[in-house]
Amino acid sequence: MVLSRKEIAARVAKDIPDGSYVNLGIGIPTLVADFIPDDREIILHTENGLLGMGPAAEEGHEDPDLINAGKIYVTEGVGASYFHHADSFAMMRGGHLDVCVMGAYQVSVDGDLANWRTDSPSVIPGVGGAMDLASGARRVFVIMDLFSRSGECKIVRECTYPLTGKSCVERIYTDIALFETGADKLVVLDIFDEGDIDSLAERIGLDLVDGRTS
């Protein structure tokens, strides 16, 4: 069994420490807002100028003026505040975010991140605030499918796409397994399908360290 995107987002939400200030990137990461545990105070930040973002708005209750950076209708939590776009980027660049959750095209074993463009001529590149987040957040988590639509593993020895940041990714949450990067090694913290670590290593073509606890 592999995890759905919602299940991956729920796992990320569970792993974010209480009291954290967190930015959720565009795409799958936005789902994390819907799974924040009720017993934790996790303050969500969006780069278009909102601190204290809540989960996605229910259908029929959307506020056209209340969206996140991915243009998804969201809600506001108690005590939410609004500010200028420039102030939002100052928060990102100034090291005020504890965790950033982003998607990726590729992540290297060392934690290099490539998430703003590929080599496809049909894709219009746009880095947005990704570089600011990758360098400014204290911890960077990535959510992505482990394999691309063409079957290529997105975790690689070295990124072949233009980098967003170097050695910035700490954890990689995928539909098949949870990984931790660093020091030229890829540590497996959990496996979600029925395979073992040896078969997983063969599938992705990389050496793996078993970091699972019994």
Please say whether the beta carbons of 173 and 193 come within 8 A: no
Q: Is-catalytic flag, 47?
A: yes
Q: Which listed residue (41, 47, 158, 170) is catalytic?
A: 47
Residues 6+ apart with CB under 8 A from 140: 99, 100, 102, 111, 113, 133, 134, 165, 168, 169, 170
- Is 100 strand, coil or helix? strand
Which residues is 180 bridged to in the sheet? 171, 187
Active site residues: 47
